[in-house]
Amino acid sequence: MNLTFTSLDAWWWPYVFILLAGSLPTNIWRWLGVFAGQALRDDSDTLLWVKAVATALIAGVISKLILFPSGALADTPMLLRVGATFVGMSVFWISKKNILLGVFSAEAVLLSGLFL
């Protein structure tokens, strides 16, 4: 049986297909990471390298959103995006690394700058 997005005529098939096609490739790598990571120490060079790469990727995505935004964010002034980022990071550090407070404060600055 050839399982494609349109292979079955049931109303529920596209949802099952999207769930399987979207989650299986990701979850396989997550489970492999869990099993492979059990043998590693928390302070191993491999995990330190993985953490550094993950941090660099996140920094790159955030930098791209600030410097070269797309969509609705592209209509906001650069100073507002940089200011919201600065406020969010400051609140994050002041609140003892509370991610929610940092994100919400940056969003509040961004939205208030757009509507005022």
Reported as a single tens digit per residue, the pLDDT across 12-69 is: 888 888 888 888 888 888 888 888 878 878 888 888 998 999 999 999 999 999 999 9
Structure token pair of residue 31:
């489970």
Q: Which strand (E) or helix (H) includes residue 17? A: helix 13-37
Q: CA angle at residue 55 from 25 to 47, to 5 degrees?
A: 75
To the nearest whole percent, how much of the chain has pLDDT over 70?
A: 97
Q: Would you say 87 and 107 are in contact if contact means Cβ atoms under 8 Å apart?
A: no
Structure token pair of residue 72:
């609705």
